[in-house]
Each structure stands twice: as C-alpha cells, then as structure tokens.
Amino acid sequence: MRKPMMAGNWKMNKTINEAVDLARAIREQVNDVDNVDRVVCPPFIDLPMVSSELMGSNIAVGAQNMHWEASGAFTGEISAPMLKNLATYVILGHSERRQFFCESDETVNKKALAALAAGLTPIICVGESLAQNEAGETQAFVSGQVKAALAGFTAEQMADIVIAYEPIWAIGTGKAATAQQANDICGGVVRQSVGELLGDEAAATIRILYGGSTNDKNIREIMEQPDIDGALIGGAALKVESYASMVQQTSEVYAAA
Ligand code: PGA
C-alpha cells in the first residue's frame, strides 16, 4: 500500500521566526502519526532553522524549487547539493513557477533528474488552467506534462518520485475539485500516463497527490479516493490547527483501510 503524504507548501510566507514557531507547533501536534508522511516546505531562507527545529522528529522538510545545475554562475539560484542536508523533498514545476517564472516542461524534467541524482525526492506539479479545463483539454495536457517531466527516468525510480495534480483553477480559490474529479485525473490521467511510459508496476508504485483548496473540511473525502495518495496543501498548511487536523483525518482513513 502506498503511504499517504500531507505536504505543506508554505509558498512565500513565514519569516524565520514564524517558520520556526509553526514547525515546532506541527512537531508537537503530529510527530507521532506514523502512518502518514508529513512534509513542510518553507521558503529557502527558513530551511536551516526549520530543519534544525525538526531534527530528530518524524516531520520531513522540503524546498519549493531548485536549479538543475550543481553550481555555477546562476545568480539568485539554489542547487540540489546545497539543499541536501536541509531537505529531503523538493517541489518542482509548481504552476506559480511555470506561470510567473517561465518554467517549462523541459526545465522541470532537468530539475527532477538533478534532484533525484542528488538524493532529493521531487514533488512534481502538473495541472491544467481553467481555460484548458473548459475546452476539454485537461487529459491531453496533464498527460503531456507527466510524460515530459518523467523523460529519462526508470520504472524503479518511481518509488522516489511524487506527482502532485493541482488544477490551476483550484489553487487558492476555495474551489477544490470534487473528490471524484480529483481521483479521475489522478488515476485516469496521471497514473495512467506513468503506466504508459514505464509500465504497470511503476504506475502502482508512484505516489500521486491532489492539490488545490484542500482543507480540514474536504480532506477526508479526498483521502478516501483510491488513486489519491495525499495532498499538497497551500493556505491550510499555514495554520497548525488545519494542517494537524488534515494529518489526523488522513491517518484515520488509512487506519480504517
Ligand atoms: P492551496 O494551494 O491549498 O492554497 O489552494 C495549493 C498549492 O498551490 O500547492
């Protein structure tokens, strides 16, 4: 059975002190929920303090981006080897980075390969816009993103890759996809595409998250879906109450399964 994951994407929120406080509160509340992987992804500048606050805990740390080169003349960038002792995960190709920072399928693929080579687990984001959704292009577009992101990977590596399906129209809007819609795309498009590319076993192994306006009210139904293995959580991950509740509810769903 795939282990569920609740990953908090803190985006450009939390000063160092605020980040440490939130990490400590999360540790206090959900350190012992061992049937759910818990991941917090603060801004780069917060990583050293947050990772030291969480040292020895069961809460993992992730970054929100990285460059594909290991070092060099790339002003303002951070590489995988720099993240190595601070993070175990790295979010790649979030729609905000694709939209505002010119990330493409090609750079996302380069970053994913570099992350895995450095021992980081990539959380690769895919998802269609509202216009694409309304034009009936979701399946073809998301499948294309998945296949492009995974170019050059082997089936065995899918145990160390996470994909987050995040429809852009659901991110930060309060309008989550229905649990059924999310499951249809996570299973019928994302997992299906991994299978077409790398075979059935790879498809059965890879963890697929849903993201977009998840919260403590809708997470239970989402986590009851067979093809959804967790959530990439934005706004609701910034408060310990909602994040901890989402971890607890996921734990209950999986304990009962
Ligand atoms: P949201 O963000 O939960 O605030 O919609 C999700 C994300 O962008 O990862």
> Over its length of 257 residues, how does the chain's per-residue pLDDT go in tens digits?
899 999 999 999 999 999 999 999 999 999 999 999 999 999 999 999 999 999 999 999 999 999 999 999 999 999 999 999 999 999 999 999 999 999 999 999 999 999 999 999 999 999 999 999 999 999 999 999 999 999 999 999 999 999 999 999 999 999 999 999 999 999 999 999 999 999 999 999 999 999 999 999 999 999 999 999 999 999 999 999 999 999 999 999 999 98
- Given CATH 3.40.640.10, say whether it is the number of domain 5-11+66-235: no
Domain residue limits, the chain: 5-11+66-235
Distances in whole angstroms, Cα of residue 13 to Cα of each of 62, 167, 214, 239: 14, 21, 18, 11
Confidence (pLDDT) at 239: 98
Nearest atom of ligand 1 to the alpha carbon of 235 = 4
Find out whether the beta carbon of 235 lies less than 6 Å from any atom of ligand 1.
Answer: yes
Residue with tokens 């929100």: 64
Give yes or no: 166 in active site.
yes
Residue identified by tokens 């740390």 is 61
Q: Of residues 53, 96, 128, 166, which has the active-site annotation?
A: 166
Please give the model's pTM, rounded to 2 decimal places.
Answer: 0.98
Q: Which of 94, 96, 103, 128 is catalytic?
A: 94
For residue 176 and ligand 1, the question of a CB distance below 6 A is answered with no
Q: In a mutational test of the pocket of ligand 1, which residue from 232, 239, 243, 246 has the highest number of ligand atoms less than 8 Å from its CB?
A: 232
DSSP lists the bridge partners of residue 238 as: none
6 ligand 1 Cβ < 6 A: no
Closest ligand 1 atom number to CA of residue 213: 5
